Amino acid sequence: MSDEIRLLQFMICRDFHLGGKQDFYTAESVHSNLYVSRFPHRFEATYVITCWRKDSRFHKEVLEYAFEDGTVIKTPHMDIEPVTDSVLFRWHKHLFPADLEIRKPGLLTIRVNLDWKPMFESYVMIEKAP
């Protein structure tokens, strides 16, 4: 097993809660695609969740939301502290940015950057609800 930091989980959901010391979580409405009632649309109470296995270094996590037209919206950084004896993992709950406006159906790329380098990329189709 490598001692370097590693992204363990990534999901998009409506809400997310850690189970405290019970080592479980509850995620509501986990999405692979997002359906909206109309365009333009802004997401409220929609989150990207990441879980990192920490290492001995301090890190910065930034998400990028990229549209097909090349527009990119970046989130402020979130800190990932070095590993301690009792805390090996770090969960982050990222609210979709308030300025993220979906104007038409299409593909949204969500990129997870660690220390300003891409570490993971996911694609979400955004469509009008049937």
| Residue at 1 is within a domain | no
Q: CATH number, domain at 73?
A: 2.60.40
The DSSP output letter for 22 is: G
Which band of pLDDT confidence, cut at 50, 70 and 90, is reported for residue 46? Answer: very high
- The domain tally of the chain equals 1
Q: Which residues are CB-neighbours of 15 under 8 A, at least 6 positions away?
A: 27, 28, 29, 45, 47
Query: What digits encode the pLDDT tens for the residues 72-86?
Result: 999 999 999 998 877
What distance in Å separates the CA atoms of residue 7 and residue 50, rounded to the nearest whole number? Answer: 7
Average pLDDT over residues 91-96: 94
Nearest of 83, 86, 42 to residue 65 by alpha carbon: 42
Residues 116, 53, 9, 22, CA torsion sign = negative
| Residue at 17 is within a domain | yes
**Three-state secondary-structure class, residue 55:** coil
What's the confidence (pLDDT) of residue 1?
A: 45
- pTM of the model as a whole: 0.91
Tokens of 9: 């989980």
| Residue at 79 is within a domain | yes
What distance in Å separates the CA atoms of residue 123 and residue 16, rounded to the nearest whole number? Answer: 20
| Residue at 92 is within a domain | yes
Query: Which domain does 47 fall in, by range?
Result: 6-128
| Residue at 27 is within a domain | yes
Count of residues making up the chain? 130
- pLDDT of residue 87 exceeding 90: no
